[in-house]
Amino acid sequence: MPHFEIQNRTPFAYDSLLLTDEEAVPQFVPLVQASFALAPTGELTLLEEQPAPNVGGEWYGDPAASSPKLEPQVAFVKPSTDIVLRGHAHAPRSNTTEVTVGISIGPMKKLARVVGDRFLIRRGGATRISSPQPFEAIPLTYERAFGGWDRRDPDSTRHRYDPNNPVGVGFRADIDAADDQMQLPNIEDPQQPYVGYGDRPPAVGFGFVAPNWQPRLEFAGTYDAAWSEQRKPLLPTDFDRRFFNAGSAGLIAPAYLHGNESVVVIGATPNGRIAFDLPGLPPPECTVEVRAHRRVPVPTHLDTVIIDLDQQTLTLMWRGHLAVRNGPHDVLSIEVHSEMQA
C-alpha cells in the first residue's frame, strides 16, 4: 500500500488494510485494536505495549488441519460483533470428570459440558462409551469438539468428514467397519450430548470458525456455472456479509456491542468464575484525507472481542471502511482519535 501519513492519537494499535467489496470496489479499512491485561479479580489495565493487529491470522497447528486461533483480517466489514473465548476448562478439584463452561456477555449466553477423555469402544457389533477420565484442564478448542474425519476405508475417495468441524473428534461415516475404538469429544452441548455410534451432535466451541466450515460457508454464496460465466471474479450475487462474522454459534451478537457490557465466565479459570465489564470506550474516530484534500469521517464499530483467559488479556477491535475508487492512492492521510488519548 502506498505511503500516507498516519496520525494515531490513541494509546491503541492501528493498522490499515486495502480490501474490496462484493463489486470489487477498493475499500480502505482502518483497524484499531486495544489490548488490556485482565486480572483474576476482573480488573482491566491497558497494556503499556500494544500488540499490533495480526493481519495474517494464527492457527493452533497446521492451518490445513487445525482450528483458527485468530482469524485472518479479510473482512472489510462485519455486520455485528464476534465474541471469542480462549483458554481451558479447569477442574475445581481433584478427580473431576465433568465441568460446565459458560460465558454471558450482553444479550448472549452460551454453556458447554466439558468431560474428561473417553472413548467409544466397538467389539463384535456391540458398542459402549467408556467412563470419562479425571482431568485438570482441557483446551477450549474445536479439536476437542465433535467432528473430524473418517479415514477408515482403504479407498481414500470414500473418506468423509464433518463439514461443521473437520478438525474435531468422534465423527464416523455410514460405512461397515470392523472392531473400533475412537476418542469422543470433550466439549459438547449439554442438551445434545454424544449418545452412541453414528450420532452426530453439533460441534460446540468458543473460538473462531474457519471460512470453509458450515454453517458459515452457507453465507459465501453460490459458485456455479452461471456465476463462472456471468459474475466471476466478483462475489456471487447471493453472497451474504454475515460470512465475515467468524464467531462460534451463539457468540455472534445480533448487533454491534456498545463496549460496556457485563461479562461473566464460569468454569474457565482456576477460581471457577471471573466477572468484569468491558471498558466502555466509545468507538475511535477516524478521519481520512483523500484526493482534493477532502476530509472524510469514517465511522468504526466494535466488531471483535477476544477474551483470552490463558494469557489473561482482553482484546477489542474496531473496524471501518471507506470506498476509494482509485485504490490506496486516493488516501493522503488518516487521523485516529479516542476519548482515551495517547
pLDDT at 342: 60
Residue 287 domain flag: yes
pLDDT at 152: 85
Higher pLDDT, 327 or 164: 164
Residue 66 domain flag: yes
Residue 330 domain flag: yes
Mean of pLDDT over the chain: 94
Higher pLDDT, 175 or 133: 133
Domain end, chosen from 188, 221, 241, is at 188
- Which pTM does this prediction carry? 0.95
Same domain, yes or no: 105 and 64 = no
Q: Which domain holds residue 48?
A: 5-81+253-337
Confidence at 162, pLDDT banded by 50, 70, 90: very high
The string of pLDDT tens digits covering residues 41-87 is 999 999 999 999 999 999 999 999 999 999 999 999 999 999 999 99
Same domain, yes or no: 75 and 111 = no
- What is the average pLDDT across 284-294? 92
Domains in the chain: how many in total?
2
Residue 277 domain flag: yes
The string of pLDDT tens digits covering residues 180-222 is 788 999 999 999 999 988 889 999 999 999 999 999 999 999 9
Same domain, yes or no: 178 and 94 = yes
Residue 231 domain flag: no
Same domain, yes or no: 22 and 53 = yes
Q: With helix as H, strand as E and coil as C, how does the chain read?
A: CCCCEEEECCCCEEEEEEEECCCCCEEEEEEEEEEEEECCCCCEEECCCCCCCCCCCEECCCCCCCCEEECCCCCCCCCCCEEEEECEEECCCCCCCEEEEEEEECCEEEEEEEECCCEEEEECCEEEECCCCCCCEEECCHHHEEECEECCCCCHHHCEECCCCCCCEECCCCCCCCCEEEECCCEEECCECCCCCCCCCCCCCCCCCCCCCCCHHHHHCCCCHHHHHHCCCCCCCCCCHHHHCCCCCCCECCCCCCCCCEEEEECCCCCCEEEEECCCCCCCEEEEEEHHHEEEEECCEEEEEEEECCCCEEEEEEECCEECCCHHHHEEEEEEECCCCC
Confidence at 153, pLDDT banded by 50, 70, 90: confident
Confidence at 287, pLDDT banded by 50, 70, 90: very high
pLDDT at 34 > cutoff 90: yes
